[in-house]
Amino acid sequence: MPPPRPTKVRHIVLWLTVAAYMITYMDRVVISSAIPSIQKEFGFSLGAMSSIVAAFRWGYSLFQIPGAWLGDVFGPRRALAAVVTWWSLFTSLTALAWSATSMIACRFLFGVGEAGAFPIATRSLSRWMLPTERGWAQGVTHAGSRLGAALTPPIVVALIASYGWRMPFYVFGSLGIVWAAVWFFYYRDLPEQHGSVNAAELALIRSHVPAARPNAARSVPWRAILSSGNVWTLSAMYFCYGYCLAVYLDWFPTYLNAHRHFNLKQMGFYASLPLFAGTLGDLLGGLVSDHIGKRTGNLRLARKAVAITGFLMAAAFILPATFTPDAYLCVWLTCVAFFSLELTVGVSWAVPLDVGGDYAGSVSSVMNTCGNIGGAISAQLLGTLVQAYGWDRPFVVAAVLCVAGALLFSRIDASKQVLATE
């Protein structure tokens, strides 16, 4: 009688994580498509809207490390259910804002909740996914986030047209509450704790991933993490990525409406296309990186080859997309640029798994803090750049930072363990 085949619980865990990533981006891009309607009702200037958009980024940046700490200390099961519930409530509460100040407060607290999402989710996968599945896992999770972002603008526009700009915040906030309940019911912090994992799957996981103590109170080796030059190079690279991502994620619908003169319906459709392209980039980047790693046995090469190519291609397509007078050609070139930028994401998030081990959540929190400081600066600065120099300048800055991102990734070593610095 043949031995039983391994169960696939780790894949269900992965797809639940994908759903969480989708919800994070759905909730954060609702406001991007609602900006014209919010400005119309409240009379907010572009500068005021920049502050509102940036408030999420600042909350998200400043609480990355505390969010990762929650995951490392209390475990991903409890911590991720808690933060998803928190941010889902503040997604809905955004609809009750009555002024710029109240909306800034809601968006900041929404960012505080979402701050823990990616570090805790990364931590949740570190004990489940095989090393040769990590690039794919990070690629597909981030593809899920971009797919969520791509699906959201047309839905938001349709809801606004029928019910006003507040309804999308209520609808998307409710999704997170449902997900948090499912996650808490199904997920376990260790494969050994899950009743549906058979001996064959557990042996497969343990043959590649060492067992971790279920002790939730262990200390995080911050000295080793914060003294690692590899981690800081990774974080500087992600600053460049975060700045560029925010330009497109937060402002591309407004750019199409205000600068390319698309109406609200056109804006909802065409703003989604680069995000769909980015979804493909996320999937392909992680898949190709894992394939190179399996073929060559060289993890360092596998990560670098994909990320450097993606950054340089993004820079090459951002500039013609910015300066073409044809609005529709601008969208199609932006699709290629954003696809290229997103090739780097699964690879970037695989590196904390590669170098961080049990503390992948904490390593990724440092990286994501720097990335979202870049995003916060981008969101805050965009209004100033547009008012002073026009809509072209933010995209030129993004192209320059893509080149910088490629140079920085060339210095990252995915085979160098953080704890080796102790």
Give the pLDDT confidence score for residue 104 in this predicted structure.
93
Q: Burial level of 326, CB count in 10 A (0-12/13-18/19+)? A: exposed
Residue 3: inside a domain: no
Residue 96: inside a domain: yes
Residue 1: inside a domain: no
CATH number at residue 18: 1.20.1250.20
Confidence of residue 3 (pLDDT cuts 50, 70, 90): low
How far from the centroid of its chain's Cα atoms is residue 216's Cα? 26
Least confident span in 102-111, 141-150, 227-236, 322-331: 141-150
Give the pLDDT confidence score for residue 282 in this predicted structure.
79
CB contact at 8 A, 379 and 53:
yes
In this predicted structure, the answer to whether residue 245 has a pLDDT above a threshold of 80 is yes
Least confident span in 175-179, 260-264, 333-337: 260-264
Confidence of residue 2 (pLDDT cuts 50, 70, 90): low
Which tokens is 113 given?
Answer: 């909740």
Torsion over CA: 95, 96, 101, 106 (sign): negative
Give the pLDDT confidence score for residue 83 in this predicted structure.
92
Nearest CA among 326, 330, 327, 282 for reference residue 306: 282
Q: What are phi and psi of 198, to 5 degrees?
A: -85, 175
Confidence of residue 422 (pLDDT cuts 50, 70, 90): very low
What average pLDDT does the structure give for the chain?
A: 85
CA distance 156 to 205: 41
Give the pLDDT confidence score for residue 218 in this predicted structure.
57
| Number of Cβ within a 10 Å radius of residue 264 | 14
In this predicted structure, the answer to whether residue 90 has a pLDDT above a threshold of 90 is yes
Least confident span in 109-113, 201-205, 379-383, 401-405: 201-205
Residue 355: inside a domain: yes
- pTM of the entire structure? 0.74
Residue 352: inside a domain: yes
> Which has more confidence, 140 or 312?
312
CA distance 270 to 262: 9
CA separation, residue 346 to residues 184, 245, 342 (Å): 25, 14, 8
CA separation, residue 234 to residues 170, 309, 344, 397, 405 (Å): 36, 16, 12, 20, 9
In this predicted structure, the answer to whether residue 151 has a pLDDT above a threshold of 50 is yes
For 334-385, how does the pLDDT look when each residue is reduced to its tens digit (9 = 90+)?
A: 999 999 999 998 788 788 877 887 777 778 788 988 998 998 888 778 878 8
In this predicted structure, the answer to whether residue 421 has a pLDDT above a threshold of 50 is no
Give the pLDDT confidence score for residue 326 in this predicted structure.
94
- Give the total residue count for the chain: 422
Confidence of residue 217 (pLDDT cuts 50, 70, 90): very low
Give the pLDDT confidence score for residue 106 in this predicted structure.
92
Confidence of residue 215 (pLDDT cuts 50, 70, 90): very low
| Stretch 15-23: mean pLDDT | 89
CA distance 117 to 83: 7
Residue 300: inside a domain: yes
- Its domain, for residue 272, covers 9-421
Residue 180: inside a domain: yes
Confidence of residue 315 (pLDDT cuts 50, 70, 90): very high
CA distance 104 to 29: 15
Give the rounded percent of residues in the chain with a pLDDT score beyond 70.
Answer: 94
Give the pLDDT confidence score for residue 216 in this predicted structure.
40
Q: How many domains does the chain have?
A: 1
Confidence of residue 37 (pLDDT cuts 50, 70, 90): confident
| Stretch 244-273: mean pLDDT | 86
Residue 61: inside a domain: yes
In this predicted structure, the answer to whether residue 234 has a pLDDT above a threshold of 50 is yes
CA distance 148 to 152: 6
